[in-house]
Amino acid sequence: MSAHIDPLDPETVEGLPPKWQADADDELVCCQRRQETEDVVSFIFRPRTPSAFRFIPGQFITLELEIDGETINRCYTVSSAPTRPDRLSITVKRTPGGVVSNWLHDNLQPGMSIHALGPSGDFCASHHRAGKYLFLSGGSGVTPLMSMSRTAHDMAEPTDIVFVHSARTPKDIIFRDELQLMTRNMNSFRTAFVCERRDGEPGWSAPTGYLTLALLQLIAPDYAEREVFCCGPEPYMRAVRSMLADAGFDMTRYHEESFNFGSTAEADAEPVAVANSEDGYSVELTKTGVTLRCAPGQSVLDAARVAGLRIPSSCSKGVCGTCKSKLVSGQVDMKHGGGIRQREIDQGMFLPCCSTPLSDLVMDR
Amino acid sequence: MKVSNEVRELIASREAGFNLEAPFYTSDEIFNLDMEVIFGQHWVYVGVEPDIPEPGDYFTVKLGRASIVVLRDDDMNVTAFHNVCRHRGAELCSEQKGSVGNLVCPYHQWTYDLTGQLIHTEHMGQEFECSKVRLKPVHVGNIAGLIFICLADEPPADFEQMRATMEEYIAPHRVADCKVVAQDDYIEAGNWKLTMENNRECYHCVSNHPELTQSLYEFGFGYQPNPSNADEMKAFTDLIGQEHARWEAAGFKSAEVEKLDGCATGFRTQRLPLTRDGESQTLDSKVACQKLLGDLTERKLGGLSFWTQPNSWHHFMSDHIVTFTVLPIDSQRSLLRTKWLVHKDAVEGRDYDVKRLTEVWIATNRQDGALVEMSQRGAVSPAYQPGPYSPYTEAYVEKFANWYIERLNTAVA
Per-residue pLDDT, averaged over A307-314, amounts to 84
Q: Look at residue A267 and tell me whether its pLDDT is greater than 80.
A: no
Q: Which of B208, B223, B233 is nearest to B391 (CA)?
A: B223
Question: CB under 8 Å to A157, separation ≥6 — which residues?
Answer: none
DSSP annotation of B286 reads S
Is a pLDDT exceeding 70 seen at residue A120?
Answer: yes
> B170 pLDDT exceeds 90?
yes
Q: In this structure, are residues A210 and A235 in contact, taking their beta carbons and an 8 Å threshold? A: no
Instruction: Please list every residue in chain A whose beta carbon sits closer than 8 Å to the beta carbon of residue B101.
Output: 321, 336, 338-341, 344
Mean pLDDT, chain B, as a whole number? 95
- The size of the A-B interface in CB pairs under 8 A is 51
Written as one string, the DSSP assignment of B350-402 is TTB-HHHHHHHHHHHHHHHHHHHHHHHHHHTSTT----BPPTTT-HHHHHHHH
pLDDT digits (tens, 9 = 90+) for B208-264: 999 998 998 878 778 888 888 888 889 999 999 999 999 999 999 999 999 999 999
Q: Which B-chain residues 13-72 have CB contacts (< 8 A) with chain A? A: 54-56
A97: helix, strand or coil: coil
Q: Indicate if the pLDDT at residue A235 is higher than 90.
A: no
- Kindly report, residue by residue over A280-298, the tens digit of the pLDDT: 889 999 988 888 888 877 8
Q: Over range A2-29, report the average pLDDT.
A: 72
Residue B372: HSE in the Cβ half-sphere, 13 Å Cα cutoff: 30
Interface test with A, best of B54, B105, B110, B122 (most A CBs within 10 A): B122
Confidence of residue B27 (pLDDT cuts 50, 70, 90): very high
Per DSSP, the three-state class of A88 is strand
Whether residues A339 and B122 touch (CB distance < 8 A) is answered with no
Number of alpha helices (DSSP H) and beta strands (DSSP E) in chain A: 9, 18
Residues of A in contact with B99 (CB under 8 A): 341, 343-344
Q: Is the pLDDT confidence value at A266 over 90?
A: no
Asked whether the predicted pLDDT for residue A95 surpasses 90, the reply is no
**Nearest chain B alpha carbon to A104:** B126
- Distance between CA A155 and CA A99 in Å, rounded? 37
Q: Above pLDDT 90, what percent of chain A?
A: 50
Closest to B48 (Cα-Cα) out of B180, B238, B136: B180
Encode pLDDT of B281-294 as tens digits.
999 999 999 999 99
Tell me the residue type at B227.
P
pLDDT of B146 > 50? The answer is yes
Distance in angstroms (rounded) separating the CA atoms of residues A149 and A143: 10
Q: What is the pLDDT of residue B285?
A: 94
Q: What is the C-alpha to C-alpha distance for residues B327 and B348, in angstroms, rounded to an integer?
A: 29
| Per-residue pLDDT at A265 | 39
A318 vs A340: CA distance, rounded Å? 8
> pTM to 2 decimals?
0.65
pLDDT of residue B349: 95
Return d(Cα B115, Cα B108) in angstroms, integer: 20
pLDDT tens per residue across span A179-225: 999 999 999 999 999 988 887 787 787 878 888 888 898 899 999 99
Give the residue-averaged pLDDT of A250-262: 75
Mean pLDDT score, A56-83:
88
Measured CA to CA, the distance from residue B373 to residue B322 in angstroms comes to 23
Q: Could you list the beta-strand ranges (E) of chain A.
A: 27-37, 40-47, 60-67, 70-77, 88-93, 113-120, 132-138, 160-167, 189-195, 227-232, 254-258, 281-285, 290-294, 325-329, 332-334, 349-350, 355-357, 361-364
Stretch A165-184: mean pLDDT, rounded?
94
- The reported pLDDT for the residue numbered A155 is 92
Distance from A183 to chain B by nearest Cα, in Å?
37
Q: For chain A, give the mean pLDDT.
A: 86
* B107 Cβ under 8 Å from any chain A Cβ: no
Chain A residues with CB-CB distance to B109 below 8 A: 314-315, 320, 322
Residues, chain B, total? Answer: 413
The candidate with the shortest Cα–Cα distance to A166, out of A276, A46, A248, is: A276
Residue B302 has pLDDT above 60, yes or no: yes
Mean pLDDT (whole number) for B392-396 = 94
Is pLDDT at B40 greater than 90 in this prediction? yes
Count of all residues that appear for chain A in the document = 365
Residue B59 and residue B96 in contact, taking contact as beta carbons nearer than 8 Å: yes
The band of B413, judged by pLDDT with boundaries at 50, 70 and 90, is confident
Query: If DSSP codes are grouped into helix, strand and coil, which group holds residue A172?
Result: helix
Instruction: Answer whether residue A262 shows pLDDT above 50.
Output: no
pLDDT of residue B367: 96
Task: Write out pLDDT tens, residues B332-381.
Answer: 999 999 999 999 999 999 999 999 999 999 999 999 999 999 999 999 99
A6 — pLDDT class (breaks 50, 70, 90):
low
**What's the confidence (pLDDT) of residue A263?**
42
**Residues of chain A in Cβ contact (below 8 Å) with chain B:** 102-103, 106-107, 314-315, 317, 319-322, 336, 338-341, 343-344
* B22 band by pLDDT with thresholds 50, 70 and 90: very high
B100 contacts in chain A (CB < 8 Å): 321, 341
Q: How far apart are CA B190 and CA B295, in angstroms?
A: 40
Determine contact, residues A26/A45, Cβ cutoff 8 Å.
Answer: no
B126, B130, B131: best to mutate for the A interface, most A CBs within 10 A: B126
Torsion angle in degrees (nearest 10) through CA of B347, B351, B356, B358:
-50
